[in-house]
Amino acid sequence: MTKKRIGIYPGTFDPITNGHMDILKRSLRLVDRLIIGVATNPSKNPMFSLEERVAMVDRETRPMALAAGVEFEVVQFDDLLMSFAERVGASIIIRGLRAVADFEYEFQMTGMNYQINPDIETVFLMADPKYQTIASRLVKEVARYGGNISPFVPDQVCVEVLKKVG
Ligand code: ADP
């Protein structure tokens, strides 16, 4: 019997965007079981509570995972990513790479994580050019100033963000 390939896609998902959705859809081709780790991240002062983010990510992504026949779970975590990965038996961490700006941070983080546990590989998926400029932070900013965020997030998420900004 071959070993199940378990991957984690970690993030803050405040809120989940079309960029996240694209990375997620593509990562379903790489693993047998995908765990989406929703980070507490209080330092980022999230617009959505942890519970709201977990529910939102689950709702938006479950149909895709089921269609792909991949085991799927959305889990919150507030410990070190590598501890979380070890705890759930993951051998792959999936990250999306947008621009050069992402690279420096990801490069450092991957290097440190590799020293913590060299058995866990971080895999980078290049953002699709269509979604490359989408960032949760900017989605919130555009919404606060009354801009149209519908090209950047799933429909229901758009409604929820607009509700938050009043
Ligand atoms: P974090 O706080 O870990 O950066 P995010 O929710 O902002 O959490 O992002 C989670 C992951 O998704 C990161 O690997 C990030 O680079 C990736 N990501 C975010 N937006 C996009 C996008 N538009 N296209 C591709 N990857 C993205």
Please give the Cα distance from 83 to 81 (Å, whole number): 5
Neighbours of 45 (CB within 10 A): 7
pLDDT for 1 = 62
- Pocket of ligand 1 contains residue 113 by CB under 6 Å: no
Please give the Cα distance from 161 to 166 (Å, whole number): 9
* Per-position pLDDT tens, the chain of length 166: 678 999 999 999 999 999 999 999 999 999 999 999 999 988 889 999 999 999 999 999 999 999 999 999 999 999 999 999 999 999 999 999 998 878 999 999 999 999 999 999 999 999 999 999 999 999 999 999 999 999 999 999 999 999 999 8
> What are the chain's domains?
6-165 (3.40.50.620)
- pTM, rounded to two decimals: 0.95
Q: Using the mean position of ligand 1's atoms as its centre, give its distance from the Cα of residue 1 in Å.
A: 34
pLDDT for 42 = 80
Please give the Cα distance from 166 to 40 (Å, whole number): 24
- Pocket of ligand 1 contains residue 47 by CB under 6 Å: no
Please give the Cα distance from 18 to 97 (Å, whole number): 14
Q: Using the mean position of ligand 1's atoms as its centre, give its distance from the Cα of residue 42 in Å.
A: 17
Task: Report the amino acid identity of residue 71.
Answer: E
Please give the Cα distance from 103 to 69 (Å, whole number): 31
Q: Residue whose CA is closest, atom 9 of ligand 1? A: 11
Q: What is the DSSP letter of 69?
A: T
Which among 137, 72, 61 has a CA at the least distance from the CA of 102? 137
Please give the Cα distance from 150 to 143 (Å, whole number): 10
Candidate of 16, 18, 23, 81 to mutate for ligand 1, largest count of ligand atoms within 8 Å of Cβ: 23
